[in-house]
Every structure is written in C-alpha cells, then in structure tokens.
C-alpha cells in the first residue's frame, strides 16, 4: 500500500517544479513511511510513498518494464499476481522484482486497457507510456483504493488523497455548490464530485487516459443484477463457501503481521473461522466503550463478552482497548482531519483506535468484515421492501387515505405507506441517510431544489428498470455508500496509522455471485444475509449464527446528549462557528429531542459537529467562509 501522486503536462514538456510533487507526497507520508520513489521525465512527474507489504526488500516504485518505456506507480494489492506472473513469464516477459504490482505493467504491455479484465485486487494505479506520451490511470471495481484528480491548466494532477491536490495553488478549493446538501442527506459526498469544486473523484470501475490536453474517462465495470434461474445441480451455498475461502486464502499477508477487526458478530467471526485454516497464530483487535453516563444498554457500546467468546473459541491472540467518552472526544478532531473529506460516520471512531492499536502491535495489515451487509441485504431497511411489495397490492387511493389518517392521528406506519407510493429513488438515501429532503429546507439556509436528492440517487443507480426494489437499494449502496463512505473511511483512517485495511468479502468473485443471487437468498423469513448464514453454518459456532446483528457499536447519541453535549453546543451554536451562516436556527431544536427521538437526533447532530470540525481544520478557510456567506446571502 502507498500514496501516489502524478503531474501530467498538457504539452511535451513539464512546467511543474520538482518541489510541487515533493509537497504532494509530503502530505501523504503517513500512507507510506517505509520508502519513497520518484520519476521525472519530459511531460510527466510520478511519485509514491510506500508501505512495504509485498516484496518488502525489492518492491520499490516506480517500476519499469524491460526497455523502460513504461513506468507504474500503484496503491494496492494484486491478489492473483502469481498466476498472472507465470503466464507473463511464459510469454517472454522479464521481471525485475517479485512485486505484485509489476504484473500490471507487463499485462498492460500485452493488452493495453484490457488488462483490467484480468486483474483481481484492490488498486489505484498510473502507467506512463514514454513512447506515445500517454498516461493510463485506473481504479479497482468496488473502489477500495481512492484516487482523485484535478485540472491545473497546464497539468492534470492525480493523487491518493484530496489533501495532496488541495495544497496546489492552482486548484479551485471553493466548496462544491451541491456538496453541502449532499453531505447532509447522505452523510458523505457521493459520486465524482468532492467537497472542493476543483477536485474530482475517479469513480470505481473506471479508467482515464491522458494525452496532451485531453483527459478521457471510461467505465470498464458495469455491475448489473441478473439473478440466475435455479439449476438442478447447482449448490449456491457451496459456491459461496468456496468463493469466501478462496478470497481469504489469496488475501493472506505472508510477509508482515496482520490482525482481524473482531466485533464478535457474524462477519468478523467468519473471517477468523476461514483464516484459521491457513493462519497458525492469528490475532484479533476489539474496541469497546466505557458505559455512557446515561446508562445506555450495553449492546450499544460494548460487545466485549461476545468478542472474547469468539477469540477463545479460535484460540487467537486478542488485543482489547476500552475507550471512554472523553478519550474519544479528544481524538475526534484528528479523526475528522484524517478522513480528508467530511464523512459523518461514527464507526470511524473505533476504527481509529483499532488502527492505532494495530500499528502499536506491529500489525501492518488489518482485515475487516465490511461488504456482506451491502451485498446480501444485511441491514433491516432492506427488509422493508417485503412490506412495500405487499402494500403495493392495495389500491393507491386506499394507501393515500391510510397515510393521511395515520399522519393526522400521529400513528406509526405513515412513513412506510408514503414509501409505497413512491419509487425507491424518491426516498432511499442509502443505509446511512441523514436529513430527509423534507427536512433539509428546515436546517439549511440554501437547501437543494425539490427532487435534487432523488436525481442524485437515480443517476447512481442508472437505468436498471428490471431490478427489484431491494436490488436497486443494494445497487445504490454498492456504487455509492460502500466506496464513498465505508471504504473511503476505512482507507483514510487505517492509512493515517500506516496500516493497510483489506476487505476479503468484497472480492470480485463474491460481488459477482451476489449480483446473480435472487432476493429470497438474501432476505429470509425474518432477517437478511440468509445465504451467508447458511454458508457459515459449518465453520462458525451457533452462538454467533443466531446472534442479533451488531457491529462496531458507538454510543454516539448518548455522548452527544451527555458527555459531549457542552462541546457540541459550543461548536455548532457558537457565534464563531464556521457553519453559522449555513444552518437555520431550527437546528437548536435537535438538542431538545427526548425519548426515542434522541437516537436519531444524536446522529444528526454528530453530522453537524463533524462538518464544523472539518471546516475549522480546512486550510482554505477564506474560500470556505466566502462560500458559506454567499449561501446565507
């Protein structure tokens, strides 16, 4: 793993200084403390900071082909590198290293952009072709590894982090016109845009070609739901078992120490179970929280009992850290800064402490169980589609009458009836959705126009009209929630501690299997991930299989209304708050939430707090304040 930076001139000569590339790499030193490499040629500057994990002794980058006409820098791991290497050697290629990255270079020599069809792994790379002055840039299918770009006028610039581009004076660092409303709707900024107008995200499953003054972007992977018909001899449970086992095996880190992020739930336990077949002395890391002052039920802040039970079952070395509210608050500004962009995800807090603990224990790689929920409908909201399909059988006029009746008498169920009257895109904002389109005008002085959020969701899902409602929800989360929130958070937080995070369940084979699996395999009679539970039945103990779903639980609402309340109010409601010209006074009402409403209000306030903290640490404060002032106009 590493951080990469590229400056591609729009002419035959480079006008950028060496100091600029060095500055970009300096901002990402945490991503690669082990080594640094730079290529400077006519028209191109490429560099990388390296975290040595594969071919530790001789895998430095840039890496060149035989005649040095091609050079590559890459952030990532190629899991089928050995098989590709053998084929390339048989075709006469000569390798200079044992690095998994070098196979990309020789594969590109033979197949140009078609090389992407043969690569299995997580990556964001750039290849410079000296002979034709062409830069080829690509990102992995699911978006595990990030890559951003900007047009500097004389150059195109690429980097692994936003901060490496925002430090360039030519980059427009004004806040993007729709980024604020998108953030408050989704809790992250989806799609190609970023928080800054002049910086863009290369989307997952895309590649870019830069020749002279032209940057062309192409899509090479199109995820499509295509459930297959049952076959007499097909055993889908066995297929999934084989795919997960193969993914675990090829993603083992054999040259450096590693650990599993263990919550004690199904997915993380499954990782330990599958790894136990190949790893003799495995390690696990668990982060739990001290009891909040408001006596929140334990499941909301600590799964230590379950995690210890699992660790003992598999005989792994178990590292545990108990974090208090004040300790988490002290770390929060660092966490927000490490995220690179505003992302209001409370799970970044336990991940921060887990990554720091992994670094302290010399584990360069950590394994996360992310992905199965989004692939196989693990969240409760996906199950709403069953109710929606049943409600859809009622005449529309009946549903409208019942909805209005429930609203008038403040009865539960009005929201579900309203959803049954609308397409998925009109109400779904991903599993982490924050303020609804109806609420945004109540908190933002410059809310989006009517239908803007729905148009954003629709543009991401695309035109897969034959997909079921559940499939359309899952597709949005695969294309947006995962890469732009979950994986972006995971990459930035882990790399802030010079630790690589791997996600075996998002292996290409498992993703493709999920895309061909019908809804009934995912959502069972009462809950999701039906086929996953069946696949784990022979290796995961029953006390885990039958457990209620949980994850890295964070008592964020308890903290916001308890130990963090004074800090949160001072930050958001202060006359000096950066967001003061952004929000309406109605936001104060969130602090007065009571009962069950506090849980959601706490998460909404955490989003406001995260934005305020990010803006205060933004080095481009002048442009930011000017933009926010213009919004309040």
Distance of CA 538 to the CA centre of its chain: 30
- pLDDT confidence of residue 585: 86
Residue 480 has pLDDT above 60, yes or no: yes
Comma-separated ranges of CATH 3.40.50.620 domains in the chain: 236-377+478-554
**Phi, psi of 419, rounded to the nearest 5 degrees:** -65, -35
Provide the percentage of residues in the chain whose pLDDT is more than 90.
69
211-236 mean pLDDT: 85
Looking at 20-29, 93-102, 373-382, 511-520, which range is the least confident one? Answer: 93-102
Residue 187 has pLDDT above 80, yes or no: yes
Comma-separated ranges of CATH 3.60.20.10 domains in the chain: 2-219
163-185 mean pLDDT: 92
Band the pLDDT of 314: cuts 50, 70, 90: very high
* E-only strand ranges, 358-503: 365-367, 500-502
Residue 305 has pLDDT above 90, yes or no: no
Helices then strands, each counted (H, E), the chain: 26, 17
Homologous superfamily assigned to 2-219: Aminohydrolase, N-terminal nucleophile (Ntn) domain (3.60.20.10)
| Structure-token match 């937080």, residue found | 493
Band the pLDDT of 498: cuts 50, 70, 90: very high
Evaluate whether 195 touches 465 at the Cβ level (below 8 Å).
no
Residue scoring higher pLDDT (421 or 372): 372
- pLDDT confidence of residue 296: 64
pLDDT, tens digit, for every residue of 448-477?
A: 988 999 999 999 998 777 888 999 999 999
Q: For residues 182 and 169, what is the distance between their CA atoms, to the nearest angstrom?
A: 26
Evaluate whether 606 touches 597 at the Cβ level (below 8 Å).
no
Assign 3-class secondary structure to 522-542: HCCCCCCCHHHHHHHCCCCCH
Homologous superfamily assigned to 236-377+478-554: HUPs (3.40.50.620)
Residue scoring higher pLDDT (275 or 586): 275
- pLDDT confidence of residue 97: 85
- pLDDT confidence of residue 247: 97
pLDDT, tens digit, for every residue of 270-299?
A: 999 999 999 988 999 999 999 888 766 655
Band the pLDDT of 391: cuts 50, 70, 90: confident
- pLDDT confidence of residue 581: 84
Q: For residues 448 and 224, what is the distance between their CA atoms, to the nearest angstrom?
A: 30
Helices (H), 276-411: 304-314, 325-338, 348-360, 372-375, 384-391, 396-408
76-94 mean pLDDT: 93
Q: For residues 329 and 335, what is the distance between their CA atoms, to the nearest angstrom?
A: 10
Residue 625 has pLDDT above 80, yes or no: no
Residue 8 has pLDDT above 70, yes or no: yes
User: What spatial distance separates the first Cα and last Cα of the chain, rounded to whole Å?
Assistant: 45
Report the run of H or E that residue 123 belongs to, with start and end: strand 121-129
Residue 338 has pLDDT above 80, yes or no: yes
Band the pLDDT of 479: cuts 50, 70, 90: very high
- pLDDT confidence of residue 29: 92
- pLDDT confidence of residue 547: 75
Residue 73 has pLDDT above 90, yes or no: yes
Q: For residues 219 and 32, what is the distance between their CA atoms, to the nearest angstrom?
A: 29
- pLDDT confidence of residue 345: 96
Q: How far is CA 373 from CA 477, 528, 533, 538, 541, in A?
A: 10, 8, 12, 20, 19
- pLDDT confidence of residue 607: 97
């Amino acid at each position: 793993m590493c951080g990469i930076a590229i400056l591609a001139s729009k002419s035959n000569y480079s006008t950028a200084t060496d100091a600029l590339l060095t500055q970009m790499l300096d901002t990402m030193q945490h991503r690669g403390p082990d080594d640094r490499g730079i290529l400077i040629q006519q028209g191109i500057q490429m560099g990388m900071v390296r975290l040595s994990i594969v071919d530790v002794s001789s895998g430095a980058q840039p890496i060149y082909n035989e005649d040095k006409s091609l050079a590559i820098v890459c952030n990532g791991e190629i899991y089928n590198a050995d098989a590709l290497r053998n084929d390339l050697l048989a075709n006469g290629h000569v390798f200079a290293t044992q690095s998994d990255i070098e196979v990309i270079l020789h594969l590109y020599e033979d197949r140009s952009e078609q090389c992407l069809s043969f690569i299995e792994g997580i990556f964001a790379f750039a290849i410079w072709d000296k002979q034709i002055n062409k830069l080829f840039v690509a990102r992995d299918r699911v978006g595990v590894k990030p890559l951003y770009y900007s047009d500097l006028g004389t150059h195109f610039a690429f980097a692994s982090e936003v901060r490496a581009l925002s430090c360039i004076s030519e980059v427009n660092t004004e806040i993007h016109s729709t980024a604020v409303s998108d953030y408050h709707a989704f809790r992250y900024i989806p799609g190609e845009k970023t928080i800054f107008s002049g910086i863009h995200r290369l989307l997952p499953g895309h590649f870019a070609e830069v020749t002279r003054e032209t940057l062309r972007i192409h899509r090479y992977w199109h995820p499509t739901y295509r459930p297959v018909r049952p076959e007499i001899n097909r055993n889908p449970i066995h297929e999934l078992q084989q795919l997960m086992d193969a993914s675990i095996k090829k993603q083992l880190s054999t040259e450096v120490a590693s650990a599993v992020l263990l919550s004690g739930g199904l997915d993380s336990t499954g990782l330990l179970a599958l790894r136990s077949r190949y790893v003799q002395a495995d390690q696990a890391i668990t982060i739990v929280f001290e009891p909040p002052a408001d006596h929140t039920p334990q499941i909301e802040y600590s799964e230590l009992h379950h995690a210890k039970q699992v660790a003992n079952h598999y005989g792994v070395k178990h590292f545990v850290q108990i974090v208090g509210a004040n300790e988490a608050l002290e770390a929060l500004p660092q966490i927000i800064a490490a995220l690179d962009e505003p992302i209001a995800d409370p799970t970044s807090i336990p991940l921060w402490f887990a990554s720091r603990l992994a670094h302290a224990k010399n584990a360069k790689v950590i394994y996360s169980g992310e992905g199965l929920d989004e692939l196989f409908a693990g969240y409760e909201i996906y199950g709403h589609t069953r109710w929606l399909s049943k409600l859809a059988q009622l005449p529309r006029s009946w549903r409208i009458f019942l909805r209005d009746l429930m609203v008038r008498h403040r009865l539960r169920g009005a929201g579900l009836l309203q959803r049954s009257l609308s397409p998925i895109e009109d109400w779904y904002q991903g599993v982490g959705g924050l303020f609804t389109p109806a609420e945004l005008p109540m908190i933002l002085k410059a809310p989006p126009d009517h239908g803007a959020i729905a148009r954003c969701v629709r543009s991401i899902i695309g035109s897969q009209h034959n997909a079921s409602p559940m499939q359309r929800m899952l597709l949005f989360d695969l294309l947006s929630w995962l890469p732009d929130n979950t994986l972006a958070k995971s990459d930035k937080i882990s790399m802030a501690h010079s630790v690589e995070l791997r996600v075996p369940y998002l292996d290409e084979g498992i993703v493709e299997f999920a895309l061909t699996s019908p809804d009934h395999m995912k959502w069972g009679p009462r809950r999701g991930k039906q086929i996953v539970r069946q696949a784990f039945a022979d290796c995961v103990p029953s006390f885990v299989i039958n457990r209620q779903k949980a994850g890295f639980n964070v008592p964020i609402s308890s903290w916001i209304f308890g130990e963090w309340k004074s800090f949160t109010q001072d930050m958001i409601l202060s006359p000096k708050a950066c967001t003061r010209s952004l929000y309406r006074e109605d936001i104060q009402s969130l602090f007065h939430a009571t009962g069950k409403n506090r849980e959601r209000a706490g998460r909404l306030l955490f989003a406001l707090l995260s934005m305020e903290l990010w803006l205060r640490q933004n080095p481009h404060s002048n442009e930011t304040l000017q933009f926010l002032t213009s919004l309040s106009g």
